[in-house]
Amino acid sequence: MTTAADVIQLANESGVKMVDLRFTDLFGKWQHFSIPARALSEELFEEGIGFDGSSIQGFQSIQESDMLLLPDPATAFVDPFLDVPTLAIICNIFDPITRQPYSRDPRYIAQKAEAYLRQTGIADTSYWGPEAEFFLFNDVRYQVEPYMSFYAVDSQEGWWNSGKDLNPNPGAQIPPKRGYFPVPPADTLQDVRSRIVLALEAAGVHVEVHHHEVASAGQAEIDIRFSTLTRTADNMMIYKYIVKNVARQHGLTATFMPKPMFADNGSGMHTHVSLWKGAVNVFWDEAGYAQLSDTARYFIGGLLRHAAAVLAFAAPTTNSYRRLVPGYEAPVNLAYSQRNRSAAVRIPMYSKSPKAKRVEFRPPDPSANPYLTFAAILMAGLDGVQNQIDPGEPMDKDLYDLPPEEAARIPQVPGSLGEALAALEADRDFLLKGDVFTPDVLDTWIEYKRANEVDAVRLRPHPMEFVLYYDV
């Protein structure tokens, strides 16, 4: 167990001059401020340090703005990007008056979900393995005004550059949906991804694999090794930070936006989860379908029943629902199946080991706040186990190519963020168990998303509407 003294020793041995204190806001952005290394003391880890909570979206009102950060020593790492040697530490948020954890701190919600799992007696520990995809573009431009709007992205790999006079044009651009797995020189980003991996490993985030993804124009995937719920969410915040900064070092721009381009695959964050009691994987049963135990089947049942509400956190942007459409390998069908990537829940079959048995929930995307997303997935699954929700029969067929009458019988994910928020409003009791999510958090999330995202997109003319309707 890493202690405050260990962190201070790491700072001294690394020649650290600054300490960067980081926390995640309600909507999944990393925030930070820095203090001189001389201020790093064991008292800091016990007493905390103050900040203005009213300046953070979704946090405090002005009359209750004072909040505390308490650094978690287990999360410290030396930042690989800053010229001034800097130690980064992830913090929890506390109320300075009550000294209680802050209800809207996403990391606290994740920790409460882990505590609730133990309280149920179903399992002691959950393990999480997210597969976050992203794009590395050479250029991005966008602007929105009352009288105009546009966006433009470009990549040297983009298929639209194959006919341009680039003096010279090297060719080998990647056609749409053909980016999985060409070797260099078609894959121009091998070294960039490798440098991201090395930076992640140096920060203590272990990596399983990296590769080019399906889409043209620099889509990539780097899979990090599984860990416990809160620690995996921490690792996802470090992951996004490192991806963006290595990209910038190479003159590229990284985006975790789920669907930045039309007519090609979007970026998902397929999420693997398993539950363990001591050294036993409670999802494993050699006699079950795909070697799944009844606990695992009920977990899937809860996940499918509550999927629409879960997606208010797991696919939390209006852009998420540009990705969740048929035809682009997107998991829109609320069904489960072994090996089958057209189902929302897939049972990987790579290994026959009981240790490897897990459930993969495929609709989430990397715009999500990982703390809230993993907590919501866990709570939905646990509700399934507690109420023995039967997921029905598995669908071991291509769900994208079903006859219309059969396809109509399979429930689908919500078609918009607005629909997902309405589902969360109607189906929230499973999240409130154990005080993991609170009504205050859910209400704040719904109100903010509707006012600042759903309406922001809904009320504006779209460029395609000029193509369709200008000459009516």
d(CA 372, CA 106): 6
Q: Which is it for the CA torsion 73, 227, 276, 428, positive or negative?
A: positive
Q: Could you say which of 212, 231, 305, 362 is catalytic?
A: 362
Q: Known catalytic residue: 329?
A: no
Q: Known catalytic residue: 358?
A: no
Query: Beta strand 18-24 with 86-94: parallel, antiparallel or unpaired?
Result: parallel
Q: Known catalytic residue: 443?
A: no
Q: Which of 179, 180, 195, 186 has its CA nearest to residue 252?
A: 195
Q: Known catalytic residue: 360?
A: yes
Give a three-class secondary structure readout of 81-119: CCCCCEEEEEEEEECCCCCCECCCCHHHHHHHHHHHHHH
Q: Could you say which of 52, 390, 429, 465 is catalytic?
A: 52
Q: Could you say which of 25, 114, 131, 157 is catalytic?
A: 131
d(CA 84, CA 16): 8
Q: Which of 217, 200, 97 has its CA nearest to residue 154?
A: 217
Give 278's contacts (C-beta < 8 A, 6+ positions apart). Answer: 124
Q: Could you say which of 32, 250, 341, 428 is catalytic?
A: 341
Q: 336 with 347: CB under 8 angstroms?
A: yes
Both ends of the chain: CA-CA distance in Å?
Answer: 68
Query: Beta strand 66-71 with 49-52: parallel, antiparallel or unpaired?
Result: antiparallel
Q: 365 with 267: CB under 8 angstroms?
A: yes
Name the packing angle between helices 307-314 and 370-386 (round to 10°). 170
**Identity at 359, one-letter amino acid code:** V
Q: Could you say which of 107, 231, 270, 346 is catalytic?
A: 270
Q: Known catalytic residue: 213?
A: yes
Q: Could you say which of 72, 79, 105, 213 is catalytic?
A: 213
Q: Could you say which of 187, 360, 383, 453 is catalytic?
A: 360
Q: Known catalytic residue: 341?
A: yes
Name the packing angle between helices 294-305 and 307-314 (round to 10°). 70
Helices (H) then strands (E): counts for the chain = 15, 18
CB atoms near residue 435 (< 10 Å)? 11
Q: Which is it for the CA torsion 259, 262, 263, 264, positive or negative?
A: negative
Q: Known catalytic residue: 131?
A: yes
Q: Could you say which of 72, 105, 221, 365 is catalytic?
A: 221
Phi, psi of 341, deg, nearest 5: -80, 0
Q: Could you say which of 133, 264, 285, 383 is catalytic?
A: 133
CB atoms near residue 328 (< 10 Å)? 19
Active site members: 52, 131, 133, 213, 221, 270, 341, 360, 362
